[in-house]
Chains A and B, each alone.
Chain A
Amino acid sequence: MIEIRGDYYDGHQSLRHPVVLRFDESRVQILGLETEISFALSEVNFADRLGDLPRSIDFPDGASCETHDNDAVDQVVAQLTSSALGSASSKKLFFGRVLHLVESRWHYLALLLLITAAVVFGFVRYVVPVAAKDLAAALPVSTDRKLGDGLLESLDGTVMQPTKITQAKRNRLHQRFAKMTAQVDPAFKFRLEFRASPSMGANAIALPNGTIIVTDGLMQLSRHEDEVIAVLAHEIGHVVHRHGLRHAIQSSVVSLAVPLLTGDIFSVATLAAGLPTALLEAKYSRDFETEADQYALNFMRSHQLNPRHFANILQRLSAGPEDEKPEPTARVFSYLESHPETQIRIVRFLRE
């Protein structure tokens, strides 16, 4: 026989009645009310245990008892599940007990934590990129174009200005660019654009619709035309491998999955949980850079160009501009970032 103290509420009034529940093998008696009530255990519903918070025992007449004596309730539930009684609800009770057991043992929890971390890591590190790649392959190239359309116009309205590079220089590059892209799938509509952009410095950007923008800063930084060609090959690699679309897919999957996993009603801190997501994005984009580098390397090999040119311009890009002063904000925040992988990237091209 087990006795449990609790507060009885009849379900109609908020009045509290302190009671004692007396459990025997098949029935529960409620002591302390004006009239003595008793129910068969098979009709009684026990709420799951949560930590050591009070839980309720619900009776078939709509009344309920709130108790802090969790261990005693667990004892009753254990007896109930081991006997044949209350077989309809015993599965639910069993599940609730397993959950609490797991939640109260550190080694089980550590195991869950480990598996969870491994699965999440494996998912975002390996499954998401591969799935995004497969999905991108299943989508027509017109999807990429839609993603990139209008981007150049909005860049022109903000950070881009007309180029100051001479027509002759540009024409030569346009010709070589046309030859480079002639061998690629014609579904990609390649286009080469030159722009001055003080805020972006020496840079080249590939838009998903095949538009590749080279800044005047990059042109000035280069000491050999093949260096620009190497950068162009790298940017074509971004387009051909459909990094824009894949990035869009990956980040939408991750941004959906993270709140689903960590989701919480008091969600100020979920904002901060966005940071691991940002780190992840950085990792994804490093993978893309490697893929584009590989494309550039293959291109240079097959066209008898010296891969050293790519290494040279990378070296100068990472060293930063020598003569011209960078934008103050860009300089200030460059203290916060680092490019540990630049040296690794350079070495790949120097090995040739």
Chain B
Amino acid sequence: MATPLPSTPDEIRLQFNGDGLDYFKIWIANTFLTLMTLGVYSAWAKVRKLRYLYRATELANASFDYHADPIKILKGRIVAVILLGVYSALGMVSEFAQIGMALLVMVFVPMLIVRGRRFHLRNTSYRHIRFDFHGTTAGAAAAYVGLPILASMTLGLLYPYVVMQRAKFLLGQSSIGDNRFAFAARTGAFYRTYFLGLFALAAAFVIGGSMAGGSIYWAEQEETDALAILAIACTAFALALIYLAWTYLQVSVTNLTLSCLRCGEITLRSTLRTLPMFWIGISNAMMVIFSFSLYLPWASIRLARYRIESIYVRAPQGLDAMISSTQDPSSAVSEEISELIGMEVGL
């Protein structure tokens, strides 16, 4: 992980103006209307939610915005639900047919990723200029099918490279107006980051595992309530330790990924730190549990604020020299399918 550079005058920090209470109100109305319309409203709910989060994101006195047509998203959802229904029904009839359909869907996954990404970015704007995506189906097939197969054949040794190539595909192939983003691959840095992160994870597993195991063994020898409570505490501590190491890995990969990205002379810097992310994760989870999920909107806003406000944009020439391009947004079908089968890709 690169050490954060001191802030320079031409660096602008992203600002997040989202408010937990406002987002909660939107969330409640969304949930209510989704329920009352038996899920039909969920497409409108999605647009409203993303709009809120994007408009809340401010860079140099201008906000992002999201423009997707809910009807297109609804169509995508209907197709996705039908596919999922057919898939489940096939499972009841014959596993063979189900596997066959899964394989068929797999073939279309690269295409879905490209189209979904394109739909999403073309509906995202900053200063009334739309983003776009130029990745090809072949590129998606390489990053999402070819490379993972190679990685599994090399016992995961290729995995950091795969992660980097995916980021290069998703981020490096995007553009705003006529300005293309570029992803400067830093293979060595990705390997170093993963080595450190996985080392931390392994250490957490060994230390946490032996503490939990040891205390449980002790509790077994002398059956007292105090020792039983100690064993529970040690197990909880071990889990927290593992989550801490996992957070460290996520944070350093995110920071590294954004540092590779540039758009002309504009560069990005992410300064996420492990401990705040860890604390946000743990406390959000606790609050969501104890509030019976009612805290969920605040949790989302809190996490989004920390993640977004840790990003600095360096624009030596200012942000005033971008030229627009006009294209029709593609269908939302792909984005919805890839979301339902758990492949949604974050910006």
A residues contacting B by CB (< 8 A) are: 7, 9-16, 47-48, 50-56, 62-64, 66, 99, 102-104, 109, 112-113, 115-116, 119-120, 139, 143, 252, 260-262, 264-266, 268-273, 275-276, 328-329, 331-333, 335-336
Contacts and interface: CB of A to CB of B under 8 A. Distances in A.
Contact of B285 (A66, A116, A268): A268
Contacts of B32: 112-113, 115-116
Contacts of A269: 284-285, 288, 295-296, 299-300, 303
A338 to B, nearest CB: 15
B63 A112 contact: no
Contacts of A10: 128
Given A16-B320, A265-B344, A272-B289, 14 more contacts: A9-B129, A48-B48, A50-B48, A52-B19, A116-B28, A260-B39, A261-B34, A264-B49, A264-B300, A265-B300, A268-B303, A329-B216, A332-B228, A336-B232
B34 A102 contact: no
A51 B28 contact: no
Contacts of B153: none
B22 A52 contact: yes
B128 A56 contact: yes
A146 to B, nearest CB: 8
Contact of A16 (B62, B299, B300): B62
Given A11-B128, A53-B55, A270-B296, A103 B326 contact: no
Closest 9 CB pairs of A and B: A328-B220, A51-B22, A9-B128, A272-B285, A269-B299, A14-B322, A272-B288, A53-B55, A103-B25
Secondary structure type dominating chain B contacts: helix
B17 A53 contact: yes
Interface in B293-347: 293, 295-296, 299-300, 303-304, 307, 319-324, 326, 344, 346
Contacts of B288: 269, 272-273, 275
13 contacts: A7-B62, A51-B22, A53-B17, A53-B18, A63-B128, A64-B128, A268-B285, A268-B303, A269-B300, A272-B288, A272-B289, A332-B216, A332-B231
A328 B303 CA distance: 39
Contacts of B210: none
Interface in B162-215: 177
Contacts of A63: 128
B281 interface: yes
B29 A276 contact: no
A335 B232 contact: yes
Contacts of A276: 289, 292-293
B42 A13 contact: no
B303 A13 contact: no
Given A102-B29, A266-B300, A50 B127 contact: no
Contacts of B39: 260
A14 B217 CA distance: 65
Interface string B6-42: 0000000000011100110110110110110001001
A207 B177 CA distance: 60
Contacts of A273: 288, 293, 296
Among B55, B217, B307, the most chain A Cβ lie within 10 Å of the Cβ of: B55
A112 B128 contact: no
B128 A53 contact: no
A214 B43 CA distance: 50
A143 B94 CA distance: 11
A266 B303 contact: yes
A315 to B, nearest CB: 22
Contacts of B324: 11-13
Among A52, A104, A332, the most chain B Cβ lie within 10 Å of the Cβ of: A332
B170 to A, nearest CB: 15
A268 B284 contact: yes
Contacts of A261: 31, 34-35
Nearest to A65: B128
Contact of A54 (B29, B53, B55, B92): B55
B62 A66 contact: yes
B63 A53 contact: yes
Contact of B92 (A116, A119, A139): A139
